[in-house]
DNA sequence: CTCCAGGCGTTCC
DNA sequence: GGAACGCATGGA
């Protein structure tokens, strides 16, 4: 077994906490190893750690890896300014920003976000991670990473024509046919990811909801974490209850425009830290 | 054993 | 348009 010894400092970033971001429920292909995190995204796999505000990459590092990670963790955006705007005149959001201030909104691959959030419905995170891992093992190529082999997330092509029955080894239950439907509608051109990326918010959301098993919650998460649509404000029972507890009633998503999605992530993290539900 | 998990589709009214 | 209820699976 070879141990990665090269370490590169990617940069130093305010308003960024690697562990917080990974644990904020946006992605499922990561694991803690010592004080570091093995993070897989698409066909890539990295070993990352953080000391203070500095982010470190362990293992071989090419310029494109730095670029990828800067984009993946949305490190070029000024979250400090966003937090100040969200916090102004809103004590609850201000508290959420303080608690979850290191959370970034990930810029994941759109197809990967779609499939993983289909798998997330009425499910818990440890089990989602297992199902996603099984999906990669069965349908993604085996590659060598900075700390041993891993499997890439399958491309739409790798899953083309897959049936719910063929997905049975994932133990995804009723979600298997939803994944199969998503793959089929993409292959047939009935759903366009290009449209999901480019179209106005309501149209993009409607495009995703053509897929069986994609409702408002999943669609919003896909738009937020897979298309960087920061105005997407996921509607979900859990956070709705938490927001109700925090705010004493429902809140208007437009109130946090145009960064409602970021506001939602802060609130989600904060509410969970507080044990609210 | 029951209950729950970052929901959604179906079936009622 | 909204409120029940079932759904696969596995862990607590």
**Residue A254 covered by a domain:** yes
pTM exceeding the 0.75 threshold for the entire prediction = yes
In the 166-225 stretch of chain A, whose C-beta falls under 7 Å of nucleic acid strand B? 174, 209, 212-219, 221
Which CATH number fits the domain that encloses residue A51? 3.30.310.40
Alpha-carbon distance A116 to A114, whole Å? 6
**Residue A2 covered by a domain:** no
- Work out the burial of residue A81: count CB atoms within 10 Å of its CB; fewer than 13 is exposed, 13-18 middle, 19 or more buried: exposed
As given in the structure block, the two tokens for residue A56 are: 């470190």
**Residue A276 covered by a domain:** yes
Residues A186 and A271 in one domain: no
User: Stated in angstroms, how far is A233 CA from B5 C1'?
Assistant: 21
User: Stated in angstroms, how far is A81 CA from C7 C1'?
Assistant: 44
* Nearest-10 Cα torsion for A89, A90, A96, A97: -20
Residues A81 and A213 in one domain: no
In the 218-237 stretch of chain A, whose C-beta falls under 7 Å of nucleic acid strand C? none
Across the range A46-70, mean pLDDT stands at: 97
Nearest CA among A46, A64, A67 for reference residue A56: A46
The percentage of chain A sitting over the pLDDT mark of 70, rounded to a whole number, equals 97
Residues A62 and A197 in one domain: no
Domain that holds residue A270: 77-106+228-277
As given in the structure block, the two tokens for residue A104 are: 């970034």
Domains of chain A: total: 3
Alpha-carbon distance A137 to A170, whole Å? 10
pLDDT at A275: 82
* Residues of A labelled catalytic: 217
Among all chains, which residue has been given the structure tokens 């203070």?
A: A52
Residues A180 and A240 in one domain: no
Among all chains, which residue has been given the structure tokens 């896909």?
A: A222
In the 225-264 stretch of chain A, whose C-beta falls under 7 Å of nucleic acid strand B? 234, 236-239, 264
Residues A45 and A91 in one domain: no
Across the range A73-96, mean pLDDT stands at: 96
Q: How many helices (H) and strands (E) does chain A have?
A: 13, 7
pLDDT at A170: 98
Phi, psi (deg, nearest 5) at residue A219: -60, -45
Q: Is the pLDDT of residue A268 over 80?
A: yes
Nucleotides of B under 7 A from a protein CB: 4-9
Q: Which of A74-78, A89-93, A138-142, A195-199 has the lowest mean pLDDT?
A: A89-93
**Residue A37 covered by a domain:** yes
**Residue A1 covered by a domain:** no
Alpha-carbon distance A50 to A27, whole Å? 18
**Last-in-domain residue among A58, A76, A94:** A76
Residues A15 and A61 in one domain: yes
Q: Is the pLDDT of residue A26 over 90?
A: yes
Residues A116 and A204 in one domain: yes
Residues A155 and A21 in one domain: no
CB A6 within 8 A of CB A85: no
pLDDT at A254: 81
Residues A171 and A85 in one domain: no
- The 10s digit of each residue's pLDDT in A168-207 is 999 999 999 999 999 999 999 999 999 999 999 999 999 9
DSSP notation for A29-95: -EEEETTEEEEEETTEEEEEEEETTEEEEES---HHHHHHHHHHTTTTS-HHHHHHHHHTT-HHHHH
């Amino acid at each position: 077994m070879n141990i990665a010894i090269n370490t590169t400092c990617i940069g130093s970033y305010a308003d960024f906490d690697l562990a917080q971001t990974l644990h904020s429920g946006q992605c499922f292909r990561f694991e803690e190893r010592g004080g570091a995190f093995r993070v897989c995204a698409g066909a890539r796999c990295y070993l990352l750690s953080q000391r203070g505000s500095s982010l470190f990459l362990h293992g071989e590092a090419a310029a494109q890896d730095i670029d990828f990670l800067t984009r993946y963790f949305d490190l070029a955006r000024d979250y400090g300014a966003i937090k100040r705007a969200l916090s102004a005149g809103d004590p609850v959001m201000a508290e959420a920003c303080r608690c979850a201030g290191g959370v970034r909104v990930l810029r994941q691959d759109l197809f990967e976000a779609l499939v993983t959030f289909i798998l997330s419905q009425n499910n818990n995170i440890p089990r989602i991670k297992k199902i996603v891992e099984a999906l990669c093992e069965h349908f993604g190529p085996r590659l060598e990473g900075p700390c041993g082999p891993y499997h890439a997330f399958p491309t739409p092509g790798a899953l083309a024509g897959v049936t719910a029955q063929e997905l049975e080894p994932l133990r995804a239950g009723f979600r298997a046919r939803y994944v199969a439907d998503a793959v089929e509608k993409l292959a047939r051109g009935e759903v366009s990811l290009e449209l999901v990326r480019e179209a106005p918010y309501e149209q993009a959301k409607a495009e995703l909801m053509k897929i069986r098993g994609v409702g408002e919650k999943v669609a919003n998460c896909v738009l937020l974490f897979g298309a960087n649509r920061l105005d997407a404000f996921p509607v979900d029972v859990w956070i709705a209850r938490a927001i109700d507890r925090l705010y004493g009633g429902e809140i208007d998503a437009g109130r946090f425009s145009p960064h409602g999605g970021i506001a939602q992530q802060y609130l989600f993290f904060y509410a969970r830290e507080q044990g609210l539900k």
